[in-house]
Amino acid sequence: MYNIAIISGDGIGNEVMECCEYMLDKLDLNFSFEYGEAGFECFNKNGTTLPQETLKIANKSDAVLFGASTSTPGQPSPIINLRKELNVYANIRPIKSYKGVKCLRDDIDFVIVRENTEGLYSQVEYGDEDKMIAERIITKKASERIAKAAFNLCIKRGQDKVTCVHKSNVLKKTDGVFKESFYNISKQYPQIRTEDYYVDAMAMYLITQPQNFDVIVSSNLFGDILSDESAGLVGGLGLAPSGNIGDHNGLFEPVHGSAPDIAGKNIANPCSMILSASMMLDYLGEWESANDIKNAVEKVIAECKIRTPDLGGNSSTMDVTKAIVKELI
């Protein structure tokens, strides 16, 4: 029996989570779901975007599934705080070309490993109306930890290169530490090739030679931006899952947000959420189910029959989910 914390959040977060639960219920596994609130609607109701009760549920679960939340003006981001509170320091974002989807190339298969706990996502900003300062902390400890996570993931994926992305020509001290920590840790993995690029050049290389990357490791903001760019190479945010993994917790969520432009229309692509659940099962050691889900999603997408409007179809969120479940059972 797995204890799963379900935090659907706002907008399409609710719609894709409903589908994800529907799919999990059809698996030959035992789950007990506990529900937590977070996000904009939660703030309107409870005066906080991330109640203590939700943190408690997340902390005692075996894994957390998060949908998406709409940002609340003047309030901290629940997902950023949740990642920090659970100390899930490695944000893993796989990017892959799918058959039947218009991708930049058909041989893209890399993963972005984004540092989750520090960098420019400190949410610490201060100053006055003339001058504002945002805090960007980079520590040796977190940089080495994320580098290690990247090298270990490279081995797990059977790939052989890790690319470090930074901006140490300008952010000499902070990104100096990030880059140096990467190369220090790389000495423990002599079988893995290494390289590093400035983030601006990397933004271009992701377009001109995405097939050349295996594992990309970067700090919080750069990793966030590059992962949305990368999702654009392979069919958009509807196909971009992610996992946030620490030493004791795992939190799984689609890369996309609450998509207010399509919320309530039942046309959101559920695949990012469903593929995130597959990453969760992999984390829980349920490798067979994890693989089955991935294969079912790939099959439904490749058939080009039942798909949501973002992929050029006219099926609903639940239609796609049911087609995936049909492949599973």
User: Which parts of this chain interact with ligand NAI (CB under 6 A)?
Assistant: 12, 68-71, 79, 237-238, 253, 256-262, 268-269, 272, 308, 310
Rg of the chain in Å (alpha carbons): 19
Nearer to ligand NAI, 46 or 152 (CB): 46
Nearer to ligand NAI, 100 or 176 (CB): 100
2-9, strands of its sheet edge to edge: 31-35, 2-9, 63-68, 250-254, 241-245, 90-96, 109-115, 215-218, 161-166, 193-198
Residues in the interface with Mg ion (CB under 5 A) total 1
Which residue sits closest to ligand NAI, CB atoms considered?
Answer: 257
Nearest distance from C-beta of residue 204 to ligand NAI, angstroms: 22
Nearer to ligand NAI, 181 or 317 (CB): 317
Decide which of ligand NAI, Mg ion, none touches 224; Cβ closer than 5 to 8 Å per partner kind: Mg ion
Per CB under 5 A, does 115 bind Mg ion? Answer: no
Three-state secondary structure along 157-212?
CCCCEEEEEECCCCCCCHHHHHHHHHHHHHCCCCCCEEEEEEHHHHHHHHHHCHHH
Nearer to ligand NAI, 61 or 308 (CB): 308
180-239 residues in contact with Mg ion (CB under 5 A) are 224
Please say whether the beta carbons of 254 and 242 come within 8 A. Answer: yes
Nearest distance from C-beta of residue 224 to Mg ion, angstroms: 4
Between vectors from CA 40 to CA 267 and to CA 58, what angle results, nearest 5°?
A: 90
d(CA 109, CA 277): 19
Decide which of ligand NAI, Mg ion, none touches 237; Cβ closer than 5 to 8 Å per partner kind: ligand NAI
What three-state secondary structure class fits 270? coil
Nearest distance from C-beta of residue 45 to Mg ion, angstroms: 25
Positions in the binding site for Mg ion (CB under 5 A):
224
